[in-house]
Structure formats: structure tokens, C-alpha cells
Chains A and B, each alone.
Chain A
Amino acid sequence: MKRKALYFLSDLIVLCMGLLVFFPIVYGFLGAFKAPSEFAKQPPALFPESFRNLANFAEVFRLIPLPRLFLNSLIVACFSALVRIACAALAAYAFACFSFRGKHVLFLILLGTMMLPPETLTIGNYRTVARLGLLDTYLGISIVSFVGASQMFMLRQAFLQTDPELQDAAFLDGCGDMSYLLRILLPMNLPILTTLFLQAFVAQWNAYLWPLLVTNTPGMRTVQVGITMLTTVEGTNYETILAGVSLALIPSFLLFFLLRNRMTGSMKNGSLA
């Protein structure tokens, strides 16, 4: 009996904490429906007077090219996650299934990239991308995130755990090196590939500093950079900002609720870190 009461109490406390963590998001969504006059009122209310006020959302579409921004983010996030996982998988295959001169040094060189935080490299990379003429291009936004040392490391672990006899059998049957990778190794490790892809996708989707640096026309910005422009446009109000944020959050939430188990897959295996 005492135990049950204790459980109930702890459940209640945890639930309250969870709602507290969730509160800013709710606040954002509620604020998106408020009329400008409601923000001027004192004391500030939590709920809007009516949920039928969609003027703020229309205002967001008028101020920034939101569909275009979503498309930009989608292209950049898919492209950068794909190239990142592809490069990592190729390198992981080399390290897991071949022996060659300099293997150890090359492995350390690639893992060493994790020691250099990307933020400290932004100014240098900006000048490189500018010299290559890639400012304001999708390639320019994604190119700095093509190196994924931790993804390479995890895929190497996964490839090493694959039964080596499988490789012998495949080669006896006339399977080449590349078709072994593409037709056996990668399909066998599809779950971890999906997880790594989703994580890379979300990271790039949410990126801010780099996309801000390398884009300067409104049509090339990503969603995350675009919605902050709502604060600099003259005469923009709080309700418009919150409407923009709410719209920008919808795809992330859809992804989260539909694919949460896929996104956190590698944590459950304990292979992360």
C-alpha cells in the first residue's frame, strides 16, 4: 500500500517535470494564435482568445518564402546525410575488411577529425567555400558536414561483427568486393544505417551557424535561418515569430513521433559512445 502511494507520487512528480519541459513548446503554439492586441494586454495570458485566428500564419508566408525554405532544408539535410553515411560506409568497409599499408595511421587521421569542433573551423571553411564559388549553393551548405568520423567508427564495428565466413562464401560464389559491400554488408546492417542517417538528417536540418554564414539570398536560406529573419523584418511582432516557429517545428515533430524508435535505435543497442 505504501509502495503504491509512493509510485503514484513519483509518477505525479515526473509527469509535472515532463510538462514543465514541454511547456515552452506549448507556449509557442498557443502564442501563434494570438492577435497582436493580446500581446499588449497585461497581465499576459497563456491561451489565445480564439484558435480561429490564422492571420499570423498568413503573415509568416507573406514575410518569408516558407515552402522554399522547407524545400531547401529538405534537400540539404538529405544530401548531406546521404553523402556523410556513404563516405563513412566506404571507409568503414576498408577498415573492417581489408589489410593495407598505413591502415592504422589513416584510421587515426580520420578519427582525429572528432577532436576539432566544427565551430572553430567555420571562418576557415567559409573562405574555402567562398573560393570554390559555393556560397549560396546547396553543396556549399552541406559540404562541411560530409565527414562523419563517429558514423565511420560505428559502421566499422557493425561490419567487424558480421560473420567473416559470409565473406568467404560470397567470394567463392564469385561475388566481387563492391557487390559484397552493396548487396550483402549494407543490407544486413540496414537498421544501424537508418539510425545514423536519421541522426545526421536531424543534425543538418537543425543546423544554424553554418547555413547562416554561407547563404545570403532569402531563397537559399534553410528553415532555421529563415525563421530568425522574422525578428529582423521591420514591424514583425511576437505572434508572427511564434507562428513561424510553430510551422517550422511541425516536420521535426512528425519525424519524432513517427520514427522515434528508429532515431534512438543505436542507443538501445548500447553501441553509441
Chain B
Amino acid sequence: MSAVTRRARRTLLPYLLLSPMLLFAAGFVYFPFLESAIHAVSIVNARGEITGFAGLSQFQYLFSRREFGIAIRNTLKLTLINVPITLCLTLTLSYLCIRRRTLSPLLEGLFALPMVVAMSSITLIAKVLFNPTVGFINHALHLSLGWFEDRHTAMAGILILTVWMGIGFNFLLFLAAFRDLDAGVLAAAALDGASRGRLLVSIQLPLMLPTIFYVLCTNMIQAMMTNGPILILTQGGPSRATTTLIYMMYTAGYASSNYSMAACISLVTFALTFLFTALLFRRDRKAVVE
């Protein structure tokens, strides 16, 4: 091979290496996003063809619908309750598991296990477990709640379910982060008379801020996207008590073929998620600087 063709190959090669990933990113991430941006301001027929320009009228119509307000409220409720609970729960569990002991493998296994349990599996189990008459929860806790069949308790059921699904991965992340901390620093502080609580608040948690921040972000995005248990268990009901944004997008786009409505909802969901991420990033920078 001559020196010239070798050089040409070397200048082309990186682009060749990048091309498969760029192709898929363009086709299945950026294209659908741009397409939904265009669909949101267009009149689109049921076959997905653009027949005219709609301006912002689709958004106006969407915001005037009661169902949309409910979907936003439900999604925010889920996110604002799920994220702090998951964070505190998994932090506590991992803190209690730091010390290596005979039981460690068992304990870690029990808490990490939800990680590999598919959403549809645990959702189907919950369907039976929370059943008002044959389910075990009502019986064991001496309750007579309707759970997924009652609009006042359906969301609580979904929350318990989604918190459970988040335990495994976050627990493992926090446990690894706790154990990664410099043992020397902790021992020195303990020698200086710092109590366990003081160690946790003043040393361990501040050092774990990057991990906590990562978990906050990923959990927030996941909670904003909640759709699986709704699809399987409640279909958004009863009386729309569990309709989330992604579920509403799914019904608009897939069940009713109203593509511009689905595009509007997906853009709003994306914008909200993006906004929350940006807010978290701003707060995080402040916390780190301080």
C-alpha cells in the first residue's frame, strides 16, 4: 500500500468507524424528534401524512383538554413522590448494608434482585397481590382498599410498584459508592470523636453527592416516563386517576392515530423533563461550589 492511500484511509477511517452509530442516532433518535416537532405544528391525517399547517392550534387544543391537565398532574405527582422516597429508601438500605458480614451476600442479593425483574412480571404479581378480594395485601394489613380499582388508591398502588422497581439498581450504586469512600478519612474522623450520625451527614453524604445526583436525574427521568404498569394494570383509570403523559401519548398516537396530538404530548413531556434536568444541574453546581 502506498503512503498516500494509507493516509487517505487513516483520514477516512474515523468517519467510517462512527458511521453505524451516527446512522442509527440520526434515524431513530434525531429523526423522530424532528418529525414530532414538525407534526406538532401540522395537520396530520390518520396515515401520518401532513396535509396542512396548524401553527400552535394543536397545543391550544391540547392545553384546553381536561385529560391533559390530569395527565400532567398525575405525572408530576408520581415524580415528586417517587423520587424522594426511592432516594431515601435506597440510601438507608445501602447504608445499613455497608459493613461486610456473614449475611452480606444474602442481603445484597435480596435488595439487588428487583434489578433483573421485568416490569411486566412484577406488575402482574402486583395485580394479584393488590386485588381487593383475593389479594394478600388487604388481608395481611387488615385493609379493605380497592387499590387499582379505586380512583383514590390507584396512584398509591402504582407508586409502591414503581418504588419497588427502582430499588435494585440504586441500592447497588449507593452501596458501591459508600464502600468506595476512603476508610482512612472516616477512621480519622471517628478518632476525633465524631459520632456515626455526624460522619454520615458531614463526610459520607457530601462525598457521595455525584452518585446521589446521578440517581436523582435518572430516577426523575424514569418517573416522568412511567407507562408500563399503567398499560398493563389500569389503562389510565379508574376515571383517569392514573393517566400519565406517556400513556396519553400512547393512546393518542397508537390507539387513535392522532399523530399531531401524540407529537404535541411527547414534546411537552420532553420539555418538562429537560427543564427538571436543567434545574437539577443548576442546584447541583451550587451545592458542589458551596
Contact = CB atoms under 8 A, between A and B. Distances in A.
B124 interface: yes
Interface in A48-97: 86-88, 90-91, 93-94
Interface in A199-229: 202, 205-206, 208-209, 212-213, 223-225, 227-228
B117 interface: yes
A110 B25 contact: yes
A224 B120 CA distance: 6
Contacts of B97: 14
B150 interface: no
Q: In the complex, which of the residues B10, B28, B269 has the most CB atoms of chain A within 10 Å of its own CB atom?
A: B28
Contacts of A238: 128, 131, 134
A40 interface: yes
Contacts of B139: 43-44
B18 interface: yes
Given A24-B125, A119-B227, A264-B172, A40 B117 contact: no
Contact of B128 (A113, A144, A242, A273): A242
A41 B97 CA distance: 40
B21 A206 contact: no
A223 B118 CA distance: 10
A123 interface: yes
Contact of A224 (B21, B118, B277): B118
A147 B26 CA distance: 10
B136 A208 contact: no
A177 B31 contact: no
Contacts of A46: 136
A236 B127 CA distance: 13
Given A123-B36, A241-B127, A248-B118, A273 B134 contact: no
Q: In the complex, which of the residues B124, B211, B277 has the most CB atoms of chain A within 10 Å of its own CB atom?
A: B124
Given A90-B17, A264-B112, A241 B124 contact: yes
Contacts of A244: 124
Contacts, number: 260
| Interface residues of chain A: helix, strand, loop or mixed (majority) | helix
B252 to A, nearest CB: 8
A75 to B, nearest CB: 17
B15 A122 contact: no
A260 B109 contact: yes
A27 B125 contact: yes
Contacts of B111: 18, 21
A206 B128 CA distance: 20
A25 B134 CA distance: 17
A211 to B, nearest CB: 10
Contacts of B114: 21
A90 B121 contact: no
B29 A116 contact: yes
A260 B254 CA distance: 37
Given A117-B270, A119-B227, A256 B113 contact: yes
A183 B111 CA distance: 39
B201 interface: no
A273 B113 contact: no
B106 interface: yes
Q: Which 8 A-B pairs have the closest CB atoms?
A: A124-B32, A18-B110, A123-B253, A94-B17, A206-B118, A98-B14, A94-B14, A273-B214
7 contacts: A24-B126, A28-B121, A115-B277, A116-B29, A117-B221, A122-B250, A147-B29
Given A123-B249, A249-B121, A270-B176, 12 more contacts: A13-B96, A17-B96, A24-B129, A25-B113, A117-B273, A125-B28, A206-B120, A227-B124, A228-B120, A231-B127, A245-B124, A245-B125
